[in-house]
Amino acid sequence: MTDERKHGLARRLTHYGDADFALYLRRSFAKSMGYSHDMLSRPIVGISNTASGFNNCHRGVPELIEAISRGVVAAGGLPLPFPVSSLGEVFLHPTSMLYRNLMAMDVEEMISAQPMDAVVLVGGCDKTVPALLMGAASADLPAILVVTGPMMTSRYQGERLGACTDCRGWWARYRAGEISPQQIREVEDGLVTTAGTCAVMGTASTMACLAETLGMMLPGTATIPAVHADRLRAAEVSGARAVALAAEDLRPSHIVTPAAVDNALRVLLALGGSTNAIIHLSAVAGRLGIRVSLERLNELSEITPVLVDLKPTGEHYMEDLFAAGGLGPVLGELADDLDGSARSVTGVTLAERLAERTFGDGQVVRRREMPVAERGGLVALKGSLAPDGAILKRSAADDRLFESEGRAVVFSSLDDLAARIDDPDLDVEPNDFLVLQNAGPKSTAAMPEAGYLPIPAKLARAGVKDMVRLSDARMSGTAYGTVVLHIAPEAAAGGPLALVRQGDRIRLSVADRRLDLLVDEAELSVRRAALPPPPAPPGRGYRRLHFDHVLQAPEGCDLDFLRAGGA
């Protein structure tokens, strides 16, 4: 019998040259944990444990694992939690993005190497959901995702407070001198008051909603708050479903199909979701040989309205979306355009799910005829400054800047930005374009969420709220502004962004989907020839692996050898 057709502890035996001995030894060691022979004969459901003292968003994971385990046992399986990497967004240097692929490798290998028949993936914080889905897609074992759920909001001086759009809003007020150090400290105390992921339609919430759309989690579970009892009930049902998934051999490759990915793109646009999600969706799809094209994004963006009125695009928070019915009404409003053939971990197709369709409440989830915006939240730009593409979240940007030309104020690195952005002598005007170089995936910065360049202090104090900002970096899903991101190829890979100099003219046209550097080719050739040699790659370890193999944003910043078909 091939290893694939063996079950439970008999899968993936340790090689000793004697399979019967290996199984006998494995059972014997497993029994040392107190399991009976009968329990060890059951189908095994692995549960990825991403609890970590460095991940506040996963504070509820131990309780979720308990509930999942309960469901697995009730359905006749044996739950075995196992640790994998955990990426707490604000606890990682230089950025969690550097480690997403490392976590995905960890997840894939631990699912593949250990004897389990199905796996329940538990995650929530920005990079953990994509890493879990990427790893599970490559391992292609029956898998179901349980997210930690969003945190609840609190109040400060009568205003609702929820990470992390409000983090930025209050910090901008502080930088502009509108509130005192004592007040910003009080805000700090109240921004994050419960377990769970950020309270707005940031990357974590967007990825949870996309995972539900892709079909990798139980319908109706993406938006349940972290501290709500429904979250535990959903975990219990997910555990039970994992046992059935093993029997049905329903795998990620059966669920994450081109139809499901196309549906996820539409939902991303309707959510006004995070720019990061386009990178993560490209990476997850790429693991199964599915390409997410920027042309398709633009096509769908023209015909998909923004329906969800959540910060940073709108006004509400994730707990409001849950109260409004969660993702179901969003899918209900979009139903006529979605591909109903896509099916979820339940085995049910989207068309069957939407047979009893629900609709928006008109406020948090708008009706299609009264949307937040007529067109989708994200657009891709191309042009001489971004030959392979760039992304703008137009739903969170100032449309007065959409057709504009400006003078480049260039920062060559994050260090340069930090050193000069608030310099009173900085030569900068409100209509200038702020340009950040060397913050892409291959740079030493490793593509941090630094694309939301701060408004120079002297302009902020003068009341400037938004400027065109351009970079090869990313932006937090909770941020807002006229911020062009993911410029590809990046500066560190020799893209045209590296050639921009102080005072150059740049034109942005959202209508034409273009971003152009208005410098003639002869001058660019001279600059290209004079570029300094790239910095030496990291000498060793994972950082060297990442540097040598990381792809650009349109390929999801995955490592080349991890995509379907390898390098």
- Burial class of residue 539 (count of CB atoms within 10 Å of its CB; 0-12, 13-18, 19+): exposed
Phi, psi torsion values for 241, nearest 5 degrees: -65, -35
Tokens of 246: 């093993």
532 three-state secondary structure: coil
| 166 binding ligand FES? (CB under 6 A) | no
- Confirm or reject binding of residue 199 to ligand FES (CB under 6 A): no
Kindly indicate which of the ranges 130-138, 196-204, 249-257, 295-303 contains the residues binding ligand FES, using the contact rule CB under 6 A. Answer: 196-204
184 binds ligand FES (CB under 6 A): no
Size of the site for ligand FES (CB under 6 A): 10
Taking CB under 6 A as the rule, does residue 300 contact ligand FES? no
Least distance in angstroms from the C-beta of 84 to ligand FES: 16
Least distance to ligand FES, CB of residue 92, Å: 10
Under rule CB under 6 A, residue 57 binds ligand FES: yes
| Nearer residue to ligand FES within complex by CB, 79 or 124 | 124
Instruction: Please say whether the beta carbons of 490 and 472 come within 8 A.
Output: yes
Q: Give the separation between CA 88 and CA 55, rounded to whole angstroms.
A: 4
Read off the tokens for 409.
């104020």
Q: How far apart are CA 164 and CA 317, in angstroms?
A: 10
Identify whether the C-beta of residue 411 lies closer than 8 Å to the C-beta of residue 454. Answer: no
197 binds ligand FES (CB under 6 A): yes
Minimum CB distance to ligand FES smaller for 43 or for 123: 123
For ligand FES, give the closer residue by CB, 326 or 477: 477
Task: Specify the residue, 224 or 562, whose C-beta has the smaller distance to ligand FES.
Answer: 224
Burial 250-267 (b: 16+ CB within 10 A, else e): bbbebbbbebbbbbbbbb
Check residue 500 for interaction with ligand FES (CB under 6 A).
Answer: no
Q: Which of 204, 214, 487, 557 binds ligand FES (CB under 6 A)?
A: 204
Check binding of 274 to ligand FES (CB under 6 A): no
Stretch that binds ligand FES, among 103-111, 197-205, 387-395, 557-565 (CB under 6 A): 197-205
User: Which residues does residue 405 pair with via DSSP β-bridges, in sequence order?
Assistant: 507
**Of 414, 426, 506, 436, which Cα lies nearest the Cα of 461?**
426
Per CB under 6 A, does 319 bind ligand FES? no
Q: Is 165 in the site for ligand FES (CB under 6 A)?
A: no
Q: Which of 125, 260, 391, 410 binds ligand FES (CB under 6 A)?
A: 125
Query: Residues 32-51 vs ligand FES: string with x where CB under 6 A?
Result: --------------------
Q: How far is the CB of 125 from ligand FES (least distance, A)?
A: 3
- Binding piece for ligand FES, criterion CB under 6 A, among 15-23, 195-203, 326-334, 389-397: 195-203
Q: 108, 117, 126, 212: which one contacts ligand FES (CB under 6 A)?
A: 126
Near ligand FES in 239-268, by CB under 6 A: none
Among 13, 187, 198, 485, binds ligand FES (CB under 6 A): 198
Q: To the nearest 10°, the Cα dihedral for 81, 85, 87, 91? A: 110
Q: In angstroms, what is the minimal distance from the CB of 195 to ligand FES?
A: 11
Is residue 89 at the binding interface for ligand FES, with CB under 6 A as the rule?
A: yes
Which stretch in 198-206, 233-241, 350-358, 434-442 sits in contact with ligand FES by CB under 6 A?
A: 198-206
Q: Which is nearer to ligand FES, 148 or 304 (CB)?
A: 148
Quick note: the x/- pattern for ligand FES over 389-418, rule CB under 6 A, is ------------------------------
> Half-sphere exposure of 244 toward its Cβ, with a 13 Å CA cutoff?
11
Q: 447: Cβ–Cβ under 8 A, 6 or more apart, which residues?
A: 95, 97, 98, 439, 440, 441, 472, 473, 474, 490, 553, 557
Q: What is the dihedral of CA 220, 222, 228, 229, to 10 degrees?
A: 50
Please report whether residue 92 would count as binding ligand FES according to CB under 6 A: no
Contact indicator for 129, 50 with CB cutoff of 8 Å: no
Nearer to ligand FES, 151 or 401 (CB): 151
Q: Which among 194-202, 281-289, 393-401, 526-534 is the span making contact with ligand FES, rule CB under 6 A?
A: 194-202
Residue showing tokens 């009976």:
36
Full 3-state SS string of 241-304: HHHHHHHHCCCHHHHCCHHHHHHHHHHHHHHCCCCHHHHHHHHHHHCCCCCCCHHHHHHHHHHC
How far the first Cα of the chain sits from its last, in Å, is 32
Q: Which residue has the tokens 């370890």?
A: 541
- How many whole angstroms from its chain centre is CA 387? 24
Tell me the two tokens of residue 394. Answer: 């137009």
Phi-psi region of 335 (alpha: psi -120 to 50; beta: other; left: phi over 0): alpha
Site residues for ligand FES per CB under 6 A: 57, 89-90, 125-126, 164, 197-198, 202, 204
